């Protein structure tokens, strides 16, 4: 008899517990409402009445190194694109001109890329020592680039060229020490392209 009473008491206890749970659920409105279709746990939603959040447009981060690589890449492209890229890079280097000449350009192994860096940065510091040091560069194109940077004038009437393809507007009058240095080097320079650049700068500034 005692063996039968034990299972019966367990059954009654389970039934009482189930009834209590049912009462609690009815008092709280039942089970929670399901999440809206398509919404995943943890998804951020825009509160009602606010405009939708737009994704931020990321701009490429430019450094002197990436700008130098842009010039290197442009050398492999069509000539007109090289000139456009040169002046775009030059505008970006305006606040870093001296550093570019003292560090990046001096460490650049490619003479053509070095010449582009010298011209792009040099036009912003046309009488500064970091630019004039490139008048001693072993490669003629780099020396010519340094000369042209000394006489660069935005929208100048006179024109010279670097590599025979990049048009460089001239018309700025270099400071007297720079003019004297260019005139001295004209008599010593053996490369015709560099002599032509010196002549163009000095002639355009008269």
Per-residue model confidence as pLDDT tens digits over 77-115 = 888 889 999 999 999 999 999 999 999 999 999 999 999
Whether the predicted model's global pTM rises above the 0.85 cut: no
Measure the CA angle with vertex 68, ends 64 and 69; round to 5°: 120
Q: What is the pLDDT of residue 25?
A: 46
Q: What is the pLDDT of residue 78?
A: 83
Q: What is the pLDDT of residue 110?
A: 96
Taking only Cα atoms into account, the Rg of the chain, rounded to an integer number of angstroms, comes to 37
As a whole number of angstroms, the distance between CA 156 and CA 168 comes to 9
CB 166 within 8 A of CB 143: no
Place of tokens 């505008």: 91
The domains of the chain are located at 64-204
Q: Which residue has the higher pLDDT, 128 or 81?
A: 128
The percentage of residues in the chain with a pLDDT greater than 70, rounded to a whole number, is: 70
As a whole number of angstroms, the distance between CA 29 and CA 23 comes to 10
Q: Is the pLDDT of residue 62 over 90?
A: no
């Amino acid at each position: 008899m005692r063996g039968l009473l034990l299972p019966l008491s367990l059954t009654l206890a389970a039934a009482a517990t189930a009834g209590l749970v049912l009462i609690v659920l009815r008092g709280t409105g039942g089970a929670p409402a399901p999440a809206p279709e398509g919404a995943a746990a943890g998804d951020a939603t825009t509160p009602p009445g606010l405009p939708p959040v737009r994704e931020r447009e990321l701009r490429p981060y430019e450094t002197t190194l990436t700008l130098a690589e842009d010039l290197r890449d442009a050398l492999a492209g069509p000539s007109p694109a090289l000139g456009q890229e040169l002046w775009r890079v030059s505008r970006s280097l305006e606040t870093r001109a001296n550093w570019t000449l003292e560090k990046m350009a001096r460490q650049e192994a490619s003479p053509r890329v070095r010449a582009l860096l010298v011209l792009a940065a040099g036009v912003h510091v046309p009488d500064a020592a970091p630019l004039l040091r490139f008048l001693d560069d072993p490669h003629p194109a780099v020396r010519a680039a340094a000369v042209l940077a000394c006489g660069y004038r935005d929208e100048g009437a006179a024109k010279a060229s670097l590599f025979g393809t990049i048009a460089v507007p001239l018309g700025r009058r270099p400071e007297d020490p720079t003019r004297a240095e260019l005139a001295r080097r004209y008599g010593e320079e053996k490369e015709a392209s560099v002599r032509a650049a010196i002549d163009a700068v000095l002639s355009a500034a008269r």
